[in-house]
Amino acid sequence: MKLPPSGAIWLIRIRWIAAATVFVATTLGYFALGVLQTPYPLYAVGVGMLLYNAVLAFIVREESPLRGFRPEDSFFIQIVLDLAALTLVLYFSDFCHNPFVIYYIFHMIIAGMYLRGARPYIVAGATALVIGAIIFFESLNLIPRFPLRFGGQELPPLHNLEALALFCAVATSLGMATYFTTSIRRYVDRAHAELRQKEKMLGIGQLVAGIAHQIANPLDGVQNCLRRISEAVKNDPRLTEYVNMMAEALERIERTAKRVQAFAQPRGLVLEKTDVNAAVEGTLAMLGTRIGQNIRVEKDLRPVPPVLGDKYTIQEVVFNLCTNALAAMPNGGTLTLRTRALGTQDDDQMNSVAIEVIDTGVGIPRANLEKIFEPFFTTRADSGGTGLGLGLCRMLISEMGGRIEVRSTLGQGTTFTVILNAYRDRDKKPT
């Protein structure tokens, strides 16, 4: 899911409030409560927040000539600046005793929501290092302290063990906040992608159903006319041969139209207790002569728990993946079908079962890995590929509560992994 450019605006609005809060809290803390040693460094930080927030507000405006930043880069810059401002505010108000150190977690949540790849963890790691350095240097009196005063007495510096405990608590909190936020974001991204895929496939289904219907109607008339022509030329072997060739071509068109209509017709899945290994064995039996003489098939069907799925749908998906794998090995190779229980290895689907279809073919370019599930995307158009198979496979597996993953290396091969939920006794069959 792409970030909208306007997504940074809400951070800018909140930052105005945060900067105002710095001024108000500093004024109250120094002049009214007397807990701050000096207000001026905090006022300077507040002014700095206002200045860089004004610059950011100008950059994200529609008419700004500097509005060339990617949304993710804009968020990254804002998060780094906010972390720097928060660190200075805490440092000038007794970092080690300041309860607002918990505000770092909010920044990690924002980083996990809006940054991609390793960036959230880089931000969390750098923040933890800065926090650790401040705590360490303050505990050794290597940098000035700005202690809070309660009842006219300054809070003493932390003991070494107290400082270490504080650092461990903050660092682990930042790490956990980043991990959980990025995990939730990945799940949302995957759900969004699957939803878009389903919408595309439904739209395509309606389109092809209409096309197939338009083809089928005149096709019946052409076939009837051809039968009459066949009767009229039955005494001419050469013309009869041509008519038969035309009849066969029309039958192929009719079969194609029916397959398209069947593809477009919504089908209900019967989710029940399903033996994955039996489904894979049945798929291998269906492949039959499609497996060339220069292809070696290996099975690694391990003991796995039954899954909640539809046997015939699983066979259809595995059959499609095997067909693609065979096409990816024009010069021969090895096709491996493996089943295994993931147990606790998979964070998203605990105790799930994986079906792996592995080939040693030409591989898939990295640029195409995100496109292969898109409708009509195919690299085998010359050999009859339509680009609908993998998209349909993903949709069917998603309807069973699972997902498909792919890994590939050019010149070495590709691995498609179908992950399905294990069957539980309390699972009910949908009607």
Look at 67-76, 178-187, 240-249, 254-263 and tell me which has the smallest mean pLDDT.
254-263
pLDDT band at 394 (very low <50, low <70, confident <90, very high): confident
- Looking at residue 387, its pLDDT comes to 53
Mean pLDDT on 145-157: 84
- Looking at residue 400, its pLDDT comes to 87
**Which two tokens mark 345?**
């290895």
Residue with more model confidence, 342 or 125 = 125
Q: Is 305 helix (H, G, I), strand (E, B) or coil?
A: coil
- What's CA 288's distance to the chain center, in Å? 35
Output DSSP code: residue 371. T
Cβ contacts of 267 within 8 Å, gap of 6 or more: none
Asked whether residue 430 carries a pLDDT value surpassing 50, the answer given is no
- Looking at residue 336, its pLDDT comes to 93
Q: Is 6 helix (H, G, I), strand (E, B) or coil?
A: helix
Q: How far apart are CA 328 and CA 49, in angstroms?
A: 56
Angle at 181 between CA 179 and CA 185, to 5 degrees: 115
Asked whether residue 405 carries a pLDDT value surpassing 50, the answer given is yes
pLDDT band at 388 (very low <50, low <70, confident <90, very high): low
Q: How far apart are CA 273 and CA 307, in angstroms?
A: 6
- Looking at residue 256, its pLDDT comes to 63
Distances in whole angstroms, Cα of residue 281 to Cα of each of 115, 269, 322, 334: 43, 21, 12, 17
In degrees and rounded to multiples of 5, residue 221 shows phi and psi of -65, -40
Sole residue written with tokens 């610059």: 55
- Please report, for the chain, the start and end positions of each structural domain, with discontinuous segments joined by +: 5-193, 198-264, 272-420
Asked whether residue 23 carries a pLDDT value surpassing 60, the answer given is yes
Q: How far apart are CA 131 and CA 395, in angstroms?
A: 46
Contact 148, 97 (CB under 8 A): yes
Mean pLDDT on 380-386: 51
Q: How far apart are CA 419 and CA 335, in angstroms?
A: 19
Collect contacts of 184-191 with beta carbons under 8 A, ≥24 apart.
Answer: 184/112, 185/112, 185/113, 187/348, 188/1, 189/1, 190/403
Cβ contacts of 24 within 8 Å, gap of 6 or more: none
Mean pLDDT of the residues in the chain: 82
**Which two tokens mark 364?**
């898939």
Percent of the chain with pLDDT over 90: 36
Q: Model confidence over 286-305: pLDDT tens digits? A: 776 567 778 888 999 999 99
- Looking at residue 263, its pLDDT comes to 53
Mean pLDDT on 351-380: 81
Total number of residues shown for the chain = 431
Neighbours of 295 (CB within 10 A): 17
Mean pLDDT on 274-279: 92
Percent of the chain with pLDDT over 70: 81
pTM above 0.75, yes or no: no
Mean pLDDT on 188-203: 70
Look at 50-54, 256-260, 382-386, 396-400 and tell me which has the smallest mean pLDDT.
382-386
Residue with more model confidence, 256 or 314 = 314
Cβ contacts of 374 within 8 Å, gap of 6 or more: 197, 200, 387, 391
Asked whether residue 416 carries a pLDDT value surpassing 50, the answer given is yes
Residue with more model confidence, 215 or 6 = 215
Mean pLDDT on 402-429: 85
- Looking at residue 301, its pLDDT comes to 92
Q: Which of 12, 140, 133, 122 is nearest to 78 (CA)?
A: 12
Q: How far apart are CA 333 and CA 325, in angstroms?
A: 10
- Looking at residue 199, its pLDDT comes to 66
pLDDT band at 278 (very low <50, low <70, confident <90, very high): very high
Cβ contacts of 117 within 8 Å, gap of 6 or more: none
Asked whether residue 273 carries a pLDDT value surpassing 70, the answer given is yes
Q: Which residues of 151-190 are buried (b: 16+ CB within 10 A; e: fewer)?
A: eeeeeebbeeeebeebbeebbebbeebbbebbeebeeeee
Specify which of 8-22, 80-94, 110-124 reaches the highest per-range mean pLDDT.
80-94
- Looking at residue 37, its pLDDT comes to 87
Cβ contacts of 314 within 8 Å, gap of 6 or more: 274, 276, 279, 307, 355, 400, 418, 420
Q: How far apart are CA 430 and CA 412, in angstroms?
A: 41
Q: Model confidence over 153-181: pLDDT tens digits? A: 888 888 888 889 999 999 999 999 999 99
> What type of residue sits at position 362?
V
pLDDT band at 379 (very low <50, low <70, confident <90, very high): low
Mean pLDDT on 321-344: 88
Mean pLDDT on 232-250: 83
Q: Which of 188, 212, 205 is nearest to 396 (CA)?
A: 205
Asked whether residue 317 carries a pLDDT value surpassing 60, the answer given is yes
- Looking at residue 231, its pLDDT comes to 83
Asked whether residue 111 carries a pLDDT value surpassing 80, the answer given is yes
Q: Which CATH superfamily is domain 272-420 in?
A: Histidine kinase-like ATPase, C-terminal domain (3.30.565.10)
